[in-house]
Each structure stands twice: as C-alpha cells, then as structure tokens.
C-alpha cells in the first residue's frame, strides 16, 4: 500500500453508470410489501426483487391505458343514464 493516494482527479457517484432509462430514486415502502417481493424472487430461485417490482408497476400502468374513444363513450353513456 502507498502511504498517500491522489484522489484529486476522482469523481463522485456510481462506479458503473446506470443502464438506459433507469432512474435511481429513494422510496419508502411497507416492510410486508418488500418482504413479499423478496420471497417471490427466492421462490423463483433468484433474481432481483426491484426488477420484479418494476415489472409489476409496468403491468399495472399498461393495464390503465384506455383508448380515448372508449373513455368518451363510457362518459357519454353515464351522462345519458343520469338524465333518464
């Protein structure tokens, strides 16, 4: 080991840059939620519980998309029923 190291050209942050469009955030979740995802990863023989959470959120998000025409038809139908 050297007696002294030069860190003047050092950079702060992650050693490896994050991939693609992933964003690092801080989030607080209930312990039972995290435990559930971790147990599912263990049941599958390994993996990443955070990736599993991301996939679950993506599936939910994509399930919420409705075509505008479908939403408008539903609203018009509800309004017509409310007037009768």
The number of domains in the chain is 1
Residue 73 within a domain: yes
Which residues 6+ apart lie within 8 Å of 53 measured at CB? 37
- Within a domain: residue 17? no
* Total residue count of the chain as it appears in this document: 84
Structural domain harbouring 75 = 31-83
> Each residue of 31-82: pLDDT tens digit?
999 999 999 999 999 999 999 999 999 988 887 887 888 888 988 999 999 8
Phi, psi angles (nearest 5°) of residue 51: -65, -35
Is residue 64 in a domain?
yes
- What pLDDT score does 42 carry? 94
């Amino acid at each position: 080991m050297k007696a002294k190291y030069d860190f003047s050209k050092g950079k702060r942050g992650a050693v490896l840059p994050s991939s693609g469009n992933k964003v690092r955030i801080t989030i607080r979740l209930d312990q039972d939620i995290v435990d559930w995802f971790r147990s599912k990863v263990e049941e599958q023989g390994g993996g990443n519980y955070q990736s599993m959470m991301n996939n679950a959120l993506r599936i939910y998000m994509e399930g919420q998309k409705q075509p505008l025409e479908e939403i408008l038809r539903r609203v018009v139908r509800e309004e017509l029923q409310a007037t009768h």
